Structure 1
Amino acid sequence: MKDLQFANTISALRKRKGITQDQVAAYVGVSKAAVSKWETGLSYPDILLLPKLATYYNLSIDELLGYKPQMTKEDIQKLYVELSQEFAIKPFDEIYERIQFIIDEYYSCFPLLMQMAVLLLNYQPMAGEKQQDVMNKAIELCHRIEENSEDLRLVRQAGSLEANCQLVMQNPERVLELLGNDVEPYIGNEILVAHAFQLLQKPEKAKETLQVSMFQYVIGLLAIAPNYLMMHSDQPEQFQEIVKRIEDLIDTFDVKNLNFNSSLVFYLITAQGYMMQQNDDKATEMIQKYVEVCKMIKFPITLHGDSFFDLIDEWLARELDLGSNATRDEQTIKTSLITSITNNPIFKPLLERTDVKSMLSNLQHKLGCD
């Protein structure tokens, strides 16, 4: 395939230039027969001739050979979606082999390596006996980015992703090595940036800056809350106060519609906490809220703003590496919405309750997972 691609390329270049094989041969210093073999895919030029041939056609050697060491953000997004969908219908080993081939092909495209590491982390539970190898591969990609990329933002993301992988692999010491032991003081740079845009007579950009910041802080608080909540599972009064405040936040900012996953994680963790307190009724109440949010999900899933956060859609598409796309395929998401309850041992006593059975049955039907 590569030979034919090169043959077609140099043949097309010669014809576009309106010259003969004799003229190419004379310039490069070979026979006409040699040029003919190149154009029919029977042979390649000697490697020492490539610079001269590329110069003749005013191309780089990479362009002449059809090699593209980098992928665009749009191409990376499309590839990620394609691979995530294939995980739902093809054997894991087959997709993993393809991912490794892509990594080898674009080993210097660090944004691509980052998304392949994210993809491997998201789908490693499906790897079976290869789970350890998959996690090590994701960490290897993070190391390559950290050691070679000049994009400081990408380097920070790689460090965070590696910490995530290390946490999954039960290596807390490595997590602290990567992220440190202390929380840095809040600086508030986004406020300064917004003021700067105002001075430049760009009020809409100033509004977007502050709105995006508020959005991220709301979602960030909801990401922290479940872990903080579980640390108080043995203190019912404090536990209930945290639940109340986070539910108020969810309602105030309509998080169920704005970012449903944040709500789902919170309700699921809250239900687990109530089970640890042997409060089955409250746990069932949280599962009911979880199910209600699941039923509100609109597929295909995209990240989006709402009437309050009405300036974040463009930012999401522009700044997030995967744009507004979901990080996993639709079928895997739907299945996980069910198994997050049915496969969790702590909920086993609830699965015999008629009301819980009915809720899960209705959810399976709604999602098409009967």
Structure 2
Amino acid sequence: MRVNIGPVLVSQRKKRGITQQQLADFIGVSKGAVSKWETGQSYPDISLLPALASYFDLRIDDLMDYEPQLSAKEIQNIYRSLKKSFTTEPGDKVLTTMRSFVRRYYACYPFLQQMGMLLLNHFDLLPGKDMQDKTAKYVSEAQQLFIRVRKNSDDTELKLRARNMEAYSLLLLNKPTEVLSLLGTTTPEYIPTENLIASAYQMQGKTEQAQAVYQSAMYQASSVGMSYFTNYLVLLNDDPDRFGETYQRGRAYADVFALASLNPAVYLNFLLSAVMGFAHQQKADEVFAVLTDYTDTLADTKFPLVLHGDAYFDKIDSWLDHLDIGSETPRNSEMVEQQLIGIVLNDPTLAPFRNDERWAPLADKLKEINQNAHE
């Protein structure tokens, strides 16, 4: 909750022509204590709140300017600030700040949802002995936030998102049985809400709004669909024929939606999955063909990443503004760039290909991209 008792005390005291000393004498504290309350350096003891409220003829909630919810823009700003802090502050300091926010806004469920997402997107940067230790600590912490949202929020859509992220947390914690128990064991029937919203706008004669809904739905679905191809490839490493066909279909899908420019992060993840799969199958020509596309795409991508439309998706700006964290990516995109480069340069899966004459030019280009990113 937000507690803004200081400005309320100043306003009420001046409105009635009362000095800090007079208020202090009535409450039974020092003038310095009142001064600290008004400047936000400290808060009155909870036992003093009824007397303060009575003195100014206010309800306690009005005295504290109590507001348990953050606006969407405030949530975006806090997430953005914490995300940026990972580039300038040690992880333990960012974690302390985040937990302080969580305690303060524990009744703001959209905010808790985003803090859970922050933990999932950055737990590797937080203190811990190793990745296993960090996963156990911080993914579990995120899971508890999602559980609180799922059990307590009245927002049906938010509860659904919290449930899904709880399931993702369970996957990271290597608890597949709990995932299936939470989500079920078959693909759920899907009735697209966006069709109903767009149809309602159309019936009202609001064609522009209906078009914007369909555009934002297709834009979002294109990225989700690309992730399906990425994850499916991982399951096909030992089935070269189906792997190759899935890769070709995924490339065609990405071309149709221009994902290399519209959402390069999801496209690069798809290419990386393809590189690792072809490497597993020891197909050098395919490895270097995909690596060339991967490197060229990285070179053409502008960081920091920001979600945006294009000449076709020209009505999605308002939708992007209303996303939980706006048009920015959940994780600091400069860190994403470094990881995308580092995986190719250092992953042992690609070790057998580093003596190939085709490797050096690509590695040099990736190193140049990385160097330019730090200038």
For 1:231, the equivalent position in structure 2 comes to: 235
State the shift of 1:23 in Å.
12
For 1:263, the equivalent position in structure 2 comes to: 267
**Maintained 8 Å contact 1:338/1:360:** no
CA gap 1:289/1:6 in 2 versus in 1, 3 angstroms: same
- Percent of aligned positions with the same letter in both sequences? 32
State the shift of 1:61 in Å.
2.7
**Hey, what's the Cα distance between the residues in 1 that align with 2:30 and 2:87?**
47
The alignment status of 1:123 with 2:127, answered yes or no, reads no
**Maintained 8 Å contact 2:20/2:35:** no
State the shift of 1:223 in Å.
1.1
**Maintained 8 Å contact 1:139/1:162:** yes
- Please give the residue correspondences for 1:258-337 in structure 2 after superposition, counting only pairs within 5 Å: 258-318=262-322, 320-337=323-340
For 2:17, the equivalent position in structure 1 comes to: 19
CA gap 1:275/1:47 in 2 versus in 1, 3 angstroms: closer
For 1:349, the equivalent position in structure 2 comes to: 352
**What TM-score, normalized by structure 1, do the two folds share?**
0.87
Secondary structure of the residue aligned to 1:309 is coil
Bigger shift: 111-120 or 348-357? 348-357
State the shift of 1:224 in Å.
0.6
**Hey, what's the Cα distance between the residues in 2 that align with 1:209 and 1:46?**
50
**Maintained 8 Å contact 1:7/1:38:** no
Secondary structure of the residue aligned to 1:300 is coil
**Maintained 8 Å contact 2:304/2:334:** no
**Hey, what's the Cα distance between the residues in 2 that align with 1:100 and 1:153?**
25
**Maintained 8 Å contact 2:20/2:31:** no
CA gap 1:126/1:11 in 2 versus in 1, 3 angstroms: closer
**Hey, what's the Cα distance between the residues in 1 that align with 2:101 and 2:352?**
45
Q: Deviations over 1:248-307 (max 9, x none)?
A: 111122110111112111111111111111102211211111111111221232111111
User: Cα RMSD between the aligned structures?
Assistant: 3.0
For 1:112, the equivalent position in structure 2 comes to: 111
**Maintained 8 Å contact 2:27/2:48:** no
Of 21, 26, 35, the match for 1:40: 35
For 1:140, the equivalent position in structure 2 comes to: 144
User: How many pairs does the alignment contain?
Assistant: 363
**What TM-score, normalized by structure 2, do the two folds share?**
0.86
- Structure 1: give runs of 5+ residues left out of the alignment: none
CA gap 1:18/1:153 in 2 versus in 1, 3 angstroms: same
**Hey, what's the Cα distance between the residues in 1 that align with 2:196 and 2:7?**
55
The alignment status of 1:98 with 2:97, answered yes or no, reads yes
- Structure 2: give runs of 5+ residues left out of the alignment: none
Q: Deviations over 1:189-216 (max 9, x none)?
A: 4333322211111111111122222222
Of 170, 180, 186, the match for 1:182: 186
**Maintained 8 Å contact 2:27/2:52:** no
